[in-house]
Amino acid sequence: MRIAIASGKGGTGKTSVSVSLADALIGAGCSVSLIDCDVEEPNCHLFLNNLAPGKTSELNVHVPVLADPDLCTGCGRCGDACRFNALVALRTEPMFFPELCHSCGGCILACPEKALKEEARPAGIMEKHQTGKFCFIKGEMTIGEARSARLIEQILEQPDNSEYTLIDAPPGTACSFVAAVRPADYIILVTEPTPFGLHDLSLAVESLRQMGQPFGVIENRSEPGVVLIEEYCRKEGIPLELQIPLSRKAAEDYAEGRLPFRRLPEIREGLINTVRRIQGRNS
């Protein structure tokens, strides 16, 4: 089962839930893959000690180049097809702006003379670590790149035979979020009981509804008497899978780079029960 852990905004505890859920499932004897798809700022590894040496591979994006300058007539159809202004042709050979390209291939399809081809361009790296029943994969985008969605798609194409694959998605609701959650069987949205948390949760909910993806909510740092997330989920008919109370122990462990809920067995049990409940509903 593939479960994506996402959030409408940063700072809600998405990564804390991801690494703690992986740890809890491994403790229950399951094989788990944890994939850090927040390629602009991956941080799952900060909480994972004793990782086996990893294998590093290159992540590429594809950009258009002239296959044969003699074939180009300067018709400009490639530039007309590009919605990102990544190439311009004004009765001349096209001028390329690779940093704007989204690797959609539309310009190549639009060229009547077949004068363009795709060329791979390095845009990041992927690390893969295997330790027993646990596999950890991390993607990291090269500074200055702007096409994280293409890198995330490549990372999620890796073969995976684990019982559970946990995808730590980028925060927000942009293209990278969509790329990370699309292959998932279920999405857990992690939020916090604040007006900002509720606002950005509602944006993520609307995005997933448009995508037709099944999802539920984990409320992190919940406090007695603060019910805005609970009321929202009830009103919208969204499963509130788990409420994780505000905890000094969790905050101390997080600040020192330890797994935040390892000293809170009731939270670990709650996370495992959440997965079992999700699996039962979707079986």
User: Over the stretch 121-144, which tens digit does the pLDDT of each residue have?
Assistant: 899 999 999 988 999 999 999 988
> How many angstroms separate the CA atoms of 281 and 269, rounded?
18
- Number of C-beta neighbours around residue 26 at 10 A: 17
Whole-prediction pTM: 0.90
Closest CA to 180 of 39, 60, 1, 21: 39
Contact 36, 42 (CB under 8 A): yes
How high is the pLDDT of residue 260? 87
The answer as to CATH 3.40.50.300 being correct for domain 68-114 is no
How high is the pLDDT of residue 147? 79
Helices (H) and strands (E) in the chain, counts: 9, 11
How high is the pLDDT of residue 90? 78
As a whole number, the mean pLDDT across the chain is 92
> If DSSP codes are grouped into helix, strand and coil, which group holds residue 223?
coil
> How many angstroms separate the CA atoms of 239 and 218, rounded?
9
Contact 187, 218 (CB under 8 A): no
List the domain boundaries for the chain.
Answer: 2-59+123-282, 68-114
pLDDT beyond 90 at 281: no
Here the tokens at position 175 are 């293209």
Pairing of strands 87-88, 32-36: unpaired
pLDDT beyond 80 at 146: no
How high is the pLDDT of residue 92? 82
> If DSSP codes are grouped into helix, strand and coil, which group holds residue 110?
helix
> If DSSP codes are grouped into helix, strand and coil, which group holds residue 95?
strand
> If DSSP codes are grouped into helix, strand and coil, which group holds residue 185?
coil
DSSP state of 169: P
* H or E element that contains 267: helix 265-282
Confidence bin at 51 (pLDDT 50/70/90): confident
Here the tokens at position 253 are 């462990």
Q: What is the mean pLDDT of residues 36-44?
A: 94
pLDDT beyond 90 at 111: yes
Q: How far is CA 13 from the centre of its chain?
A: 14
Confidence bin at 176 (pLDDT 50/70/90): very high
Least reliable range by pLDDT among 22-26, 94-98, 146-150: 146-150
* Record: fold of 2-59+123-282: Rossmann fold (3.40.50)
> How many angstroms separate the CA atoms of 202 and 272, rounded?
25
- The tens digit of pLDDT for each residue in 180-228 reads 999 999 999 999 999 999 999 999 999 999 999 999 999 999 999 999 9
Contact 203, 8 (CB under 8 A): yes
Residues 6 or more apart whose CB falls under 8 angstroms from that of 235 comprise none
- Four-residue CA torsion sign, 49, 51, 53, 58: negative
Report the residue count for the chain: 283
Contact 60, 121 (CB under 8 A): yes
Query: Do 2-59+123-282 and 68-114 have matching folds?
Result: no
Which residue's structure tokens are 């495992």?
272
Q: What is the mean pLDDT of residues 74-86?
A: 91
How high is the pLDDT of residue 49? 81
Here the tokens at position 133 are 């029943």
- The tens digit of pLDDT for each residue in 4-31 reads 999 998 889 999 999 999 999 999 999 9
